């Protein structure tokens, strides 16, 4: 079976955050996942892309069904995949997989159309796979091409309004509850890119009393200095929660940082004054049962997606140019990869045909010779001409790019649902 690109995964289009967090792979566990899957049947190279929007296994597979079974076995053993969960997964291959990957890199498969964050995450995923020895020239060149296409799409089409981000949506939700954010106490749990973006959006909206907490205190200080905010020790978060009006969680912690009991105690201390908790993490950092508490307003990634989608409808976004660029790039890339793959075959074929023709010429000399110099030249020229004609015809056949856009109907999401 001819090796090809295959992508197996789920994203915000196919699954709610409740499902996405189940199959989210923490960064420390991705290295082991890469190592294990690389040794699995059907997989030659692999990159794992895990964000709060998606978990995808990007594969260079010599046997796509076997590779899919290897991924599903891994998910079943380590992440308790059940039969009913399969409907959330898609399996893409060949041109559909190339198109999907290029769209992901360009931000066209994101909640916020055109956002650059996924391209950064894809580059980091490739770097991790390279460090793990899980990728080679096929996936490396494919993902590098996707990143180059991403840059071209942004430069030529500006496909979306990049001000419509999850942090922007978080501020909108906070303002819907609290109206005015000036003089409100804001607590950021986490000091990554998302927290920084949220803090800047909050500043723009008038919030001027921001505290940053991170497990690594030096990182809290670093971000707090950038934002002219306050840094605090992470273990003191429950005390700070008692006086906070807005809490934004964006950490990589795999369990709840604010439990139901924590929230109940905090609400009592606050005498049930409105407290907005925005959980931007996957897996979630806030127990979803805090919704039961009077005065607590909890929002998660699904709520943020709804806000962004609602506001995007007010912008007339044209994706036709961006998708035309991607379609052209996919066709060109597939053609170049196919040509690259068949060149050694063509060279070997020509050598073998030349050997066979030379054997036939020698046979003619022995059976019907000796030939005159002119006759010998005619026979040799004819043999060479036949070799070139046959090699040329076969080369054209080998370079012809097949129309292979299939995807497994049991696991795939229809291409129309993706765009």
In a domain, 307, yes or no: yes
- Do 353 and 213 lie in one domain? The reply is no
What is each CA distance from 349 to 283, 356, 379, 392, in whole angstroms?
54, 11, 21, 11
Contact yes or no for 150/119 (Cβ under 8 A): yes
| For residue 52, pLDDT beyond 90 | no
407 belongs to a structural domain: no
Tens-place pLDDT, residues 319-341: 778 888 999 999 888 777 656 66
CB 214 within 8 A of CB 234: yes
- One domain, residues 135 and 198: no
Per-residue model confidence as pLDDT tens digits over 101-141: 999 999 888 877 777 889 999 999 999 999 999 999 899 99
Same domain, 149 and 192: no
209: in domain = yes
The DSSP letter of residue 371 is P
The reply to whether 114 falls in a domain is yes
Instruction: Output the domain CATH number for residue 45.
Output: 3.30.460.30
Domain stops at, among 132, 159, 186: 159
CB 64, CB 57: distance < 8 Å:
no
314 pLDDT above the threshold of 80: no
- What is the pLDDT at residue 375? 83
Residue 81: CB atoms within 10 A of its CB come to: 19
Report pLDDT for 27.
Answer: 86
Asked whether the CA dihedral 77, 83, 89, 92 is positive or negative, the reply is positive
Does 277 share its domain with 170? yes
pLDDT of residue 364: 84
pLDDT surpasses 60 at 37? yes
The string of DSSP codes covering 325-350 is HHHHHHHHHHHHHHHHHHHHHHHHHH
Same domain (yes/no): 186, 93: no
* Same domain (yes/no): 123, 244: no
Confidence class of residue 174 from pLDDT cuts 50, 70 and 90?
very high
**Per-residue pLDDT band at 72 (split at 50, 70, 90):** very high
Domain count of the fold of the chain: 3
Instruction: Answer yes or no: do 151 and 178 share one domain.
Output: no
Per-residue pLDDT tens over the stretch 367-385: 887 888 888 888 888 888 8
Same domain flag for 222 and 274: yes
- Do both 83 and 182 map to the same domain? no
Quote the CA–CA distance of 305 and 165 in Å, as a whole number.
Answer: 9
The whole-chain average pLDDT of the chain stands at 85
The reply to whether 326 falls in a domain is no
Show the domain range for 228. 166-312
| Mean pLDDT of the 278-289 span | 91
For the segment 388-404, what is each residue's pLDDT rounded down to a tens digit?
778 777 766 665 545 44
Range 69-98 average pLDDT: 92
Q: What is the DSSP string of 109-123?
A: TSSSTT-SHHHHHHH
Cα separation, 89 vs 109, in Å, equals 15
In a domain, 32, yes or no: yes
Q: Tokens for 416?
A: 């129309």
Whether 203 and 175 share a structural domain? yes
Question: How many CB atoms are closer than 10 A to CB 364?
Answer: 15
User: What average pLDDT does this structure show over 298-308?
Assistant: 88
Give the C-alpha separation, 298 to 23, whole Å: 23
The answer to whether residue 247 is domain-embedded is: yes
Instruction: Mark whether 199 and 287 lie in a shared domain.
Output: yes
Same domain? For 137 and 101 the reply is yes
283: preceding bond cis by omega (within 30 degrees): yes
Q: Does 186 score more than 80 pLDDT?
A: yes
CATH assignment of the domain containing 251: 3.40.50.720
Integer Cα distance of 200 and 217 in angstroms? 20
Domain boundary among 127, 159, 191: 159
């Amino acid at each position: 079976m001819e090796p090809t690109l295959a992508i197996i995964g789920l994203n915000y289009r196919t699954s709610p955050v409740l499902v996405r967090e189940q199959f989210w792979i923490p960064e420390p566990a991705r290295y082991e996942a890469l190592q294990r899957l690389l040794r699995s049947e059907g997989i030659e190279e692999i990159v794992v892309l895990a964000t709060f929007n998606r978990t995808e296994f990007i594969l260079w597979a010599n046997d796509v069904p076997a590779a899919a079974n290897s991924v599903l076995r891994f998910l079943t053993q380590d992440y308790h995949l059940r039969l009913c969960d399969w409907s959330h997964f898609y399996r893409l291959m060949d041109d559909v997989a190339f198109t999907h990957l290029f769209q992901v890199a360009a931000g066209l498969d994101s909640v916020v159309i055109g956002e650059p964050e996924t391209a950064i995450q894809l580059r980091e995923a490739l770097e991790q796979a390279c460090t793990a020895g899980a990728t080679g020239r096929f996936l490396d060149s494919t993902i590098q091409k996707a990143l180059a296409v991403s840059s071209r799409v942004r430069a030529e089409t500006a496909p979306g309004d990049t001000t419509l981000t999850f942090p922007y949506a978080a501020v909108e939700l906070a303002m819907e509850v609290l109206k005015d954010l000036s003089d409100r106490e804001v607590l950021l749990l986490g000091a990554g890119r998302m927290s920084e973006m949220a803090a800047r959006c909050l500043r723009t909206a008038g919030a001027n009393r921001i505290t940053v907490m991170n497990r690594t205190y030096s990182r809290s200080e670093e971000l707090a200095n950038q934002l002219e905010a306050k840094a605090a020790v992470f273990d003191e978060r429950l005390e700070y929660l008692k006086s906070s009006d807005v809490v934004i969680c964006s950490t990589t912690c795999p369990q709840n940082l604010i439990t139901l009991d924590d929230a109940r105690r905090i609400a009592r201390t606050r005498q049930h004054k409105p407290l907005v908790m925005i959980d931007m993490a996957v897996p979630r950092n806030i127990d979803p049962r805090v919704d039961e508490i009077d005065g607590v307003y909890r929002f998660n990634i699904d709520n943020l997606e709804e806000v962004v989608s609602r506001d995007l409808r007010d912008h007339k976004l044209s994706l036709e140019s961006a998708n035309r660029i991607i379609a052209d790039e996919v066709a060109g890339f597939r053609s170049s990869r196919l040509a690259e793959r068949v060149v050694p075959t063509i060279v070997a074929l020509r050598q073998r045909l030349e050997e066979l023709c030379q054997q036939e010429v020698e046979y003619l000399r022995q059976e019907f010779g000796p030939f005159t110099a002119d006759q010998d030249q005619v026979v040799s020229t004819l043999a060479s001409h036949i070799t070139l004609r046959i090699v040329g015809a076969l080369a054209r056949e080998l370079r012809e790019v097949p129309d292979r856009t299939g995807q497994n109907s049991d696991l795939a999401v229809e291409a129309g649902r993706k765009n």
